[in-house]
Structure 1
Amino acid sequence: MTFTVCYFNGIVLEFMTVEKVLKKGFHNPKFRPTVEKQSEMDSSIPNVITAYGELKPSTEIDIAPGESRKIIQPSSLKNPKLEELMTFLIDWINATLKRDHIVVQSLEEDLYDGLVLHHLLVHLGNVKLDVEEIALSANAQKQKLTVVLDTVNQLLQITEGDNLNWNTKLIHKKDLISTLHLLVAIAKYFQPDIPIPKNVCVETLTLEIEKTGIKTMKHLEYITEKSDLFKLGPDKVKIVQQAMLHFANKHLGGLGVIVKDLSTQFSNGVILILLIGQLEDYFIPLSEYFLNPSDQKERLHNVTFVLEILKERGLLKHPVNPEDIVNLDSKATIRILHCLFAKYKDK
């Protein structure tokens, strides 16, 4: 089953079958569809791409009922850290394979057939694989990829029980998340000291087809390892926690709010919202959040709202998963507070 994902300003608006897009488009004067070449998968249904304002081209994703598919939110593709990592990996591959006169320009488009991955293993690990040099058909490409990935998994000592971030199907489908995870793993295995950019994280959207419709789940996924203040010793971390408590209480005192526990008192997002209002000298309308959240959904709404504010103001230096805050993760809470502290510590 093919679904079209519609975006606006990098945000997923709706998931529709192509038939629904056509129907919706012709009844909406702001939605001007243009018909492209018919899909090979279903020649009877034209692929529709929107061409109105800032509405970005739709993306077709094949998902069978009961299956799930993970994609990168378009807004994350503009993340400078992600762009830095992709450029780094492309330059690294091209430098490694320079003798073979192989030039990679796109990680999605140039690695899916197994040729580049095969040559990387040959050069980096002196590995010999019994595969075709150039696989032309889709089946031949998948067979070659399977051999290459099996070899990678053996080198990395990955077992069947491990939760793999890549497989033949995903790489051949040009899945960027899987391709990035695979390349980072290969680079770190063969060249442990390679300066791969750290703290690269993307916002992903997992789509799953159920009987009642399409289930979606947002998540923050790290592609490369984190480097943060929690690599400090326990004594120094404790000092940071005390500094954050003092900072919060200093600015919340005028509201009669006293913070004693960073994890529990910030987990519903309310005090974070009040703190931001105090620091930035404005009142956040009560209609924007739940002042007395009663369940997980309302708490998650509040924390997500906080992260959106921090992103808009350029204060969120490292991605934070809102679920971590709601689930009383003290490290995630301190990361948010540290973003505010870094800017307003002298206020």
Structure 2
Amino acid sequence: MSGGSSASAQSAKMRKDESFLGKLGGTLARKKKSKESDLHEEGKNAINAPMLPTGTDIHPEDTLMEENAERIMLDPTSRETLKFKDLLKQVLIDWINSELEEERIIVKDLEEDCYDGQVLQKLFEKLSGKKLNVAEVTQSEIGQKQKLHTVLEAVNELLRPHGWTVEWSVDAIHSKNLVAIVYLLVALVMHFQAPIRLPEHVSVQVVVVKKREGILQTALVTKELTSTTRMMMGRFRDAFDTLLDHAPDKLNVVKTSLITFVNKHLNKLNLEVTDLETQFADGVYLVLLMGLLEDYFVPLYNFFLTPESFEQKVHNVAFAFELMQDGGLKKPKARPEVVNLNLKSTLRVLYNLFTNYKDSE
């Protein structure tokens, strides 16, 4: 009796052990299968994204893309380059804040401040002089995209006839695509000949993510945001461009007429101009000339009488332009170019004064 009982207990123990080992084996098998699946997925990702730079994060929402959709992300290393940061903070942001100062709008971050269309609306209205039919403030995503659509439609209608390639869209800007925002702002700067100097040869690398047959494919692409000043401003041609290019023999006649005009007034201060290109570059003669033309004394503390730095010269020219506006003239757009000894820009400014004050004593 005891022997049978012992055999029964041993058999039950063996069945229990087999059951335990079976469970353990099943668990191990599942873990192995799971590991193999992870390795397979990792291998597939490595094949599908061979050019993805280190440090670039693809967020979960980036994978939730429709078939044949495309998304562009700025490479983090490009974001930190000095030229790109200078273009953003020292040029574009300062320019927007200067243009929208009367609106009491202060931009600190292009991605966070431009995505909803409010700043872009105000900027376009200021530059173009056109009022857009949009809601002033909207918090909903639909409302923001509707505003962006209206703004970008107006921008594209203005730029496309001049040969611009549209590198921005409602979805790109609303998703805070910094490259698209910068492309748009640079285009506006160039089209409206903003009185700022864009840094030359600014390029960035972007990660282009595409979805093909359910698989994400990535590539690293270089995007040129600015070229040379000559090429960027080469889109805009007027009578002075034609004069310099096709009738250089008549240029001296124009320069002589302008020199006679400015000296007629500057001689009252015992000053004389012989070279238009260099003697107006620091802004001093422009400021003094405006005082003479409008018949008032310009306080010396308002400008640098002996400017030494580029910034001081730009300040003087900008101040002279303010005096021109106070006199009822349209604001010139060539501030840095005058300081950079750009003859055509200087001629444009002086010719504007000549046409408005040629009969002044």
When normalised by structure 1's length, the TM-score is 0.47
Higher helix share: 2
When normalised by structure 2's length, the TM-score is 0.45
Answer 1 or 2: higher relative contact order, Cα 8 Å, separation at least 6. Answer: 2
Higher strand share: 1
Q: Considering only CA atoms, is the larger Rg found in Structure 1 or Structure 2? A: 2
